């Protein structure tokens, strides 16, 4: 590969990690033929300055920005919330706010959640006497608890720590394995650091007890002891009896078809991820946990359920694992994430999980309502029309003017935007 000046370039950049962000940027500029303008844009960091970003991850050359919107109208367990959402997709914030508004007639969202229990897995292979090993582990339960709890005195001080040990046995292609689960109350942390440290700490003792060899020592992202549950009732007189029936039909497709179910759950994650990202939580952990939980019965299922109550109103529920943190990690170091947490006002990860799950349910209701009635493209394209106007070359006041005309004509496309722009510029 050569750059614009014909110089051969290799991505094997020895010592790259030792360069300053500016020097790294210079190297990338050369490799990828970036312009001076590109470099200037990359240097423009926002509230997360380059130093903080550089301490967060490796090989940093800049930061990136996404829109931060506020979902309104949320009434959860009798409390009003404004909810920050970070997402690049139009319609999501508006849809969540709309669903929350419609839910208010019947009291908004009723939410609950489990204690913040996470599981650390320790894999043991080559255990000669499985039954005897299990007994030994259980006889030494208290010692294992002590050993693990000593890793995190702060967690223990705040009421967290190991709660249980479970032993699983599995037959695999590589022989029988024992998997020990450490069930840990991680309080207001996401928990990965605490649990992984504990799992590593007790592993040698488990080898001693079983005569086996430890392989993996890691948290599971299937946080199925840390579920959040939410219910909301949408009044039939507010949304229309016909809409109740249409939503139930739409839901039934997701319940019976994996192709639809994937999209159904994607819509839920639109809302969930947006709040998770706003608070700088680990959205990959949340995604992995959610989809794994959706498949827990051996079939990929919707994370929400819908039914009619005795009066014919639509009752929606959601249940999913939500391993969120308020202490540690980027939630505490990213300046905007700190403000996002402040806007929500969540005092615990349980409360945060209840808020996040409510947004997931609201998002899903809004998508089903739109899909089952007028379709989502009308509203979506209306919101998207400004982006299309920009893509067609509009700037300043012309953006709104082009968007307005396209919306009026119900013809929203880059082609039409260009034509309107030309007319306006004449
Ligand atoms: C788009 O991002 C999300 C939807 O496709 C969700 C759904 O179909 O339920 C609208």
pLDDT along the chain (426 residues), means of 10: 66 95 97 97 96 96 97 98 97 97 98 98 98 98 98 95 98 97 98 97 98 98 98 98 98 98 98 98 98 98 98 98 94 96 98 98 98 84 87 94 93 94 93
User: What pTM was computed for the model?
Assistant: 0.92
Residue whose pair of structure tokens reads 């739409």 in the numeric block: 250
Name 224's Cβ contacts closer than 8 Å, sequence gap at least 6.
289, 293, 296, 321
Q: How far apart are CA 334 and CA 108, in angstroms?
A: 31
Closest-CA residue, ligand 1 atom 2, reads 267
Backbone angles phi, psi at 80, to 5 degrees: -85, 135
Q: Which atom of ligand 1 is nearest to the CA of 250?
A: 9
What pLDDT does residue 426 have?
87
Q: Nearest CA to 392 among 352, 348, 424?
A: 424
Is the Cα dihedral 275, 276, 278, 284 positive or negative?
A: negative
Q: How far apart are CA 272 and CA 74, in angstroms?
A: 14
Distance from the alpha carbon of residue 408 to the mean position of ligand 1, in angstroms: 25
Q: How far apart are CA 331 and CA 341, in angstroms?
A: 8
Distance from the alpha carbon of residue 59 to the mean position of ligand 1, in angstroms: 35
**Ligand 1 in reach of 377 Cβ (< 6 A):** no
Closest-CA residue, ligand 1 atom 9, reads 264
**Ligand 1 in reach of 261 Cβ (< 6 A):** no
Q: What are the CA-CA distances from residue 268 to residues 18, 46, 294 (Å)?
A: 41, 29, 12
**Ligand 1 in reach of 267 Cβ (< 6 A):** yes
Q: Which atom of ligand 1 is nearest to the CA of 370?
A: 10
Distance from the alpha carbon of residue 78 to the mean position of ligand 1, in angstroms: 28
- The CA-CA-CA angle for residues 122, 219, 359, to 5°, reads 155
Distance from the alpha carbon of residue 245 to the mean position of ligand 1, in angstroms: 19
Q: Which atom of ligand 1 is nearest to the CA of 89?
A: 2
**Ligand 1 in reach of 90 Cβ (< 6 A):** no
User: Which of 88, 260, 270 best tests ligand 1's pocket when mutated (most atoms within 8 Å of CB)?
Assistant: 270
Closest-CA residue, ligand 1 atom 3, reads 267
Distance from the alpha carbon of residue 410 to the mean position of ligand 1, in angstroms: 21
Residue 280, SS3? coil
What pLDDT does residue 382 have?
79
What pLDDT does residue 7 have?
63
Residues with a known catalytic role = 89, 266, 282, 380
What is the side-by-side order of every strand in the sheet holding 304-308? 79-86, 68-76, 109-113, 227-234, 314-321, 304-308
**Ligand 1 in reach of 270 Cβ (< 6 A):** yes
**Ligand 1 in reach of 259 Cβ (< 6 A):** no
What pLDDT does residue 379 have?
75
Distance from the alpha carbon of residue 266 to the mean position of ligand 1, in angstroms: 6
What pLDDT does residue 6 have?
64
Closest-CA residue, ligand 1 atom 1, reads 267
Q: How far apart are CA 306 and CA 360, in angstroms?
A: 14
What pLDDT does residue 31 have?
95
Residue 124, SS3? strand
Find the farthest-apart pair of alpha carbons in the chain and give their distance in angstroms, rounded.
Answer: 87
Which tokens go with 415? 């082609």
**Ligand 1 in reach of 274 Cβ (< 6 A):** no
> Burial level of 287, CB count in 10 A (0-12/13-18/19+)?
middle
């Amino acid at each position: 590969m050569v750059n614009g000046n014909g110089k051969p370039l290799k991505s094997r950049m020895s010592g790259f990690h030792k360069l300053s962000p500016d020097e790294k940027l210079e190297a990338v500029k050369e490799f990828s033929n970036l312009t001076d303008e590109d470099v200037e844009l990359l240097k423009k960091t926002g509230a997360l300055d380059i130093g903080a970003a550089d301490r967060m991850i490796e090989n940093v050359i800049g930061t990136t920005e996404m829109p931060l919107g506020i979902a309104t109208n949320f009434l959860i367990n009798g409390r009003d919330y404004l909810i920050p959402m970070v997402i690049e997709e139009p319609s999501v914030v508006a849809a969540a706010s709309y669903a929350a508004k419609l839910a208010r007639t019947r009291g908004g969202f009723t939410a609950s959640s489990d204690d913040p229990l996470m599981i650390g897995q320790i894999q043991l292979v080559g255990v000669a006497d499985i039954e005897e090993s299990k007994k030994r582990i259980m006889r030494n339960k208290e010692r294992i608890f002590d050993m693990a709890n000593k890793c995190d005195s702060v967690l223990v001080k705040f009421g967290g720590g190991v709660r249980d040990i479970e032993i699983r046995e599995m037959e695999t292609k590589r022989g029988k394995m024992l998997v020990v689960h450490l069930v840990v109350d991680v309080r207001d942390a996401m928990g990965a650091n605490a649990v992984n440290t504990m799992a590593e700490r007790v592993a040698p003792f488990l080898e001693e007890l079983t005569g086996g060899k430890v392989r993996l020592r890691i948290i599971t992202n299937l946080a199925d002891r840390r579920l959040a549950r939410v219910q909301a009732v949408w009044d039939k007189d507010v949304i229309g009896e016909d809409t109740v029936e249409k939503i139930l039909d739409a839901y039934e497709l997701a319940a019976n078809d994996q192709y639809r179910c994937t999209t159904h759950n994607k819509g839920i994650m639109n809302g969930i991820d947006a709040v998770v990202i706003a608070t700088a939580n680990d959205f990959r952990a949340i995604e992995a946990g959610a989809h794994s939980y959706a498949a827990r019965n051996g079939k990929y299922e919707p994370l929400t359920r819908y039914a009619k109550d005795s009066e014919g109103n639509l009752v929606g529920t959601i249940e999913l694992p939500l391993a969120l943190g308020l202490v540690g990690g980027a939630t505490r170091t990213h300046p905007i994430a700190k403000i996002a947490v402040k806007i929500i006002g969540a005092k615990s990860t349980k409360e945060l999980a209840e808020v996040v799950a409510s947004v997931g349910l609201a998002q899903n209701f809004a998508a089903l309502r739109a899909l089952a009635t007028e379709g989502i493209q009308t509203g979506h394209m209306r919101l998207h029309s400004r982006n299309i106007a920009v893509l067609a070359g509009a700037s300043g006041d012309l953006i709104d003017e082009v968007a307005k005309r396209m919306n009026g004509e119900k013809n929203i496309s880059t082609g039409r935007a260009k034509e309107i722009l030309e007319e306006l510029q004449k």
